[in-house]
Structure 1
Amino acid sequence: MAKRDYYEILGLSKGASADEIKKAYRKTAIKFHPDKNPDDPTAEDKFKEAAEAYEILSNPEKKQRYDQFGHQGVGGARGFGGGGMNMDDIFSQFGDIFGGGGGGGSPFDSFFGGGGGRSRQKKGTNLRIKLKMTLEDIANGVEKKIKVNRLITAEGVTFKSCSSCGGSGQVRKAVNTMLGQMVTASTCPTCNGAGKTIDHKPPGVDNSGLIYQEEILPVKIPPGVVDGMQLSMTGKGNEAPGGGIPGDLLIVVEEIEDPILKRDGNNIIYELYLSFVDATIGTSVEVPTIDGKVKIKIDSGTQSGKVLRLRGKGIRDINGYGKGDQLVSVNIWTPKHLTKDEKNMLESLRDSENFIPSPGSKEKGFFAKMKDYIMD
C-alpha cells in the first residue's frame, strides 16, 4: 500500500513552521491514541503513522529531502507504520512533546485520568554509523558486514524491582481539580525509569550494569538508496539498564562519487566524446554502464548535445517503481592542435555547402532538449 503524504497525515501545508508541525502532531496523536480509542482497531496504526510523519517533518534535513524527493528520499528512515516501531519506541522518541519525559508510563495518563496506566520499559540509546557505498553497490544492492561497539548488560549482573516505583519506572501524583482527578507521571529518580535497580554486579562494572562489546553485524542494503538516507536495524543499538528495550542502529548512507558515471535521481548520465569524423560519418562505440559495457550506434550527422537514452540502464527505484535510464550526452571533440596537412585539408572544406551551419526547424536548441529530457 502506498504511503500517505506526511503533510496530509498531520493536516498541514508544506510551508508549516516547526511549531505548527509540533502542535499538529500533538493534536493528531491525542486524537488517535489507542487508550482513547479502545474500540477502533485502526487507531494504533494512525497513531504510528502520525509519529512517522512527525519524525521526518520535525527534522530540517529529513524534511528537505522529503520535500525534494518524497518518500524515496527518506525511504528507510524508520517505518513506524510498517510494524518496525512499537508504542514504547514512540513514547521514548517523542515523550517530551506530551510532557511525559520519555520515561516509563504513558504520557497520556494525565489526559485521560488513568490511575493505573501501563508500564513502559526504558529504551537504550541509538547508535549511528556511516556506510560508504559505490554507485555499483547502490545500483545492485549489497550485503556488508559492519563492526559495532555497543553497550550490553554485563555477564553476572542481576536486577531487582525498584523499591521507589514498584517496578513501574515512574512515580505518579494525583491532583483533585474542579474537572476531576488528574494523574501526572514522572520518571522515577531512583531507577531513572528502568523499573529495576542492580542487585548484584561483578567487579569492574559500573552502576548501569553495562559494558562495551564489539559485534560484527551483517546488513543488507536494498538497491536505490540515496546519499544521506538513514536505515534502521531495530534492537541493535545500546541496551538499556535493567533489561529494557535496546536502542536501534542507524545506518547513514554515504555515496562515493563515481569518476565516470554520474547519478541524477534514478538516472545515470555519461558524457560521450566523439571525434568530428565519427559524428559526421557515423560509427558504433562502447559505453560503460552500471551493468558493464554496451555497444551503441552513432548515426551519421549526430550533433553535439544530442542525448541518447538507454532505457532500464539506470538505478532501481527503492520503492519498487521500476528502473531509471542511462542518458548518454554526446559531445563533439574539437582538436586543439592541427598539423599543416590537417589544416590544409579542413581549409579546403571550409566553403563546402555541407560544412556551412544551417540549422533547420527540426534541430532543437538546448532548452528544447532539456524539456524533452524532463518530460520523457
Structure 2
Amino acid sequence: MKQDYYEILGISKNATPAEIKKAYRKMAIKYHPDKNPGDKEAEENFKKAAEAYEVLSDENKKARYDQYGHAAFEGAGAGGFGGGGMNMEDIFSQFGDIFGSAFGGGGFGGFGGGSRGRTRVKGSNLRIRVKLTLEEIANGVEKKVKVRRKVKAAGVTYKTCSSCNGTGQVMRVTNTILGRMQSASTCPTCHGAGEVIDRKPKGADSDGLEIKEETVSIKIPAGVTEGVQLKVNGKGNAAPGNNSLDGDLLVVISEVEHSTLKREGTNLHYDLYINFSEAVLGAAKNIDTVSGKVKIKIDPGTQSGKILRLRGKGLPSIDHYGNGDLLVHVNVWTPQNLSKTQKEFFEMMKNDENFKPNPSKFDKSFFEKVKDMFT
C-alpha cells in the first residue's frame, strides 16, 4: 500500500502551499543523490518526496487526492509519478528551481543545472475527452484512442546552440551604481533547450517536428466520475532537441447518460412503474443493473413511493471502499381510461374498508423517505 503523501512530507492536510514547498525542499535536500551517493534508500525517499510534492503542490490534483486518495491517479499511467513515467531527470527538470543555491548555486549536476544550467524542454500537453457508459465505469475499461501528436521527424538532427554554447542560458552584465551585475536569462535562440535544428527533413516544421496519428491505450479504473482527469505520460506533443521530453496526454472522463439508471455518487436510482393490479396482488419484475437484468419481488399491497434497496448493486468506489446500492423507486400507475365494467368495479370498491387509506407507523412520509435515501 502506497504511503500517504502528507505523511511523506511530514505535514498536515491543512498545510499551506508555502509549508508544502518548504517541507519538500527540506526532504529533497536531505535525500539528494549528491549528498547520498550510491544510497538506493535515499534515492527512493527522494523520489517519494518529489511524487508527493508533484500532487500536493497542484491545487486540482491535491483536491482529487484529498477526495479519492491514491486511487485518483490509478490507470492510464495516471497521476504523474504514480504511473512510473518520471525518472530522476524528470524530477530535477521540473522542481530544480525549488532548491536555489542549496547545491552550489545552480541545481543538480548533469540533470537540471550545475555548470551547464540547461533545462529539459518539454512538449505541450494534449487533452481528449473519453465517453464511458455506466457499465464501463462499473467494471473499468481499457480504451484505445487515436491521437494526432507532434513527433520528431525521421532523420532530423540537432546541434549545440552557438548563442549559449548548449547551456540554455545567456549571461548579461549590467553596470549599476553598485558595480557590474551579472544575470542569466533563457537563451532567445534555442528557448532554453541548448540545441537548435541542424538538419530538417522534408515535411517537418521549423522545429523538426511532424504530425503523426498514433493509437494510444488508456486503462481507466472502475468508479471514475464525470470530469475526472487522467494522464498518460509522454503521449502529448514532442519538443525539439535531443534532450527534450514529450508532453502528456490528458484524458477527461465524460459519462454517457443511461436510458433507465440515474447516478448519484456510487448509488444508482431506477424508476419502476407497476400497474394497480400488480401493486395489489404482488408481482415479479425484471429491472436493469450495470451487470445485467435482475428479478425482484413486489410484495402484495406495495404502496406507490416505496423504495427497494439492492445493496451492492450500484457503482464501485474509486478509492476501493466497496460498491454503492441500487435504489428502486416503485411507482403505482393509476389507470386513466376505464371501461364501463371497470368503472363499476371501482365504484363498488370506493367505500370498501380495504380500499380506505390506512397508513401504519411503518409507512413513512415522503420527507422521511428522502431523508433515508440520503443517509
TM-score between both structures, scaled by the size of structure 2: 0.80
Give a deviation string over 1:248-287, Cα, whole Å, max 9, x none: 1111111111121111222221110111221121111111
Among 78, 99, 115, the residue aligned to 1:108: 99
What residue number does 2:81 align with? 80
Check the 8 A contact 1:151/1:212 in 2, yes or no: yes
What residue number does 2:161 align with? 162
Tell me if 1:354 matches 2:354. Answer: yes
Check the 8 A contact 1:148/1:217 in 2, yes or no: yes
Check the 8 A contact 2:2/2:70 in 1, yes or no: no
Q: CA deviation at 1:208?
A: 1.0
Aligned length: 348
Gaps of 5+ in 1: 96-104, 176-181
Of 83-92 and 318-327, the range deviating more from structure 2: 83-92
SS in 1 for 2:342: helix
What residue number does 1:148 align with? 147
Check the 8 A contact 1:73/1:226 in 2, yes or no: no
Q: Distance in 2 between matches of 1:29 and 1:183?
A: 30
Q: CA deviation at 1:210?
A: 0.8
Check the 8 A contact 2:21/2:57 in 1, yes or no: no
Of 363-372 and 82-91, the range deviating more from structure 2: 82-91
Give a deviation string over 1:80-122, Cα, whole Å, max 9, x none: 35644446556666x6xxxxxxxxx645234554346333422
Q: Percent identity?
A: 49
What residue number does 1:31 align with? 26
What residue number does 2:177 align with? none
What residue number does 1:258 align with? 258
**Map of 1:1-376 to 2, 5 A cutoff?**
1=1, 4=4, 11=12, 13=14, 21=17, 23-34=18-29, 38=35, 42-55=45-58, 57=59, 59=60, 69-71=67-69, 74-76=72-74, 78-80=79-81, 83-86=84-87, 89=90, 106-110=97-101, 112-115=103-106, 117-118=108-109, 119=112, 120-171=119-170, 186-243=185-242, 244-375=244-375
SS in 1 for 2:217: strand
Q: Distance in 1 between matches of 2:230 and 2:341?
A: 61
AA paired with 2:308?
L
AA paired with 2:23?
T
Question: Compared with structure 1, are the counterparts of its residues 310 and 165 closer, same or farther at alpha carbon in structure 2 (3 Å cutoff)?
Answer: same
Q: Distance in 2 between matches of 1:144 and 1:373?
A: 34
Q: Distance in 1 between matches of 2:64 and 2:46?
A: 28
Q: CA deviation at 1:211?
A: 1.0
Gaps of 5+ in 2: 37-41, 113-118, 175-180
Q: CA deviation at 1:366?
A: 2.8
What residue number does 1:179 align with? none
AA paired with 1:160?
K
Give a deviation string over 1:273-313, Cα, whole Å, max 9, x none: 11122112111111111222111111112122222122332
Give a deviation string over 1:291-341, Cα, whole Å, max 9, x none: 221111111121222221223322233333332222211111112232232
TM-score between both structures, scaled by the size of structure 1: 0.80
Q: CA deviation at 1:215?
A: 1.3
Q: CA deviation at 1:73?
A: 9.0
Check the 8 A contact 2:161/2:190 in 1, yes or no: yes
Check the 8 A contact 2:50/2:91 in 1, yes or no: no
Q: Distance in 1 between matches of 2:123 and 2:2?
A: 31
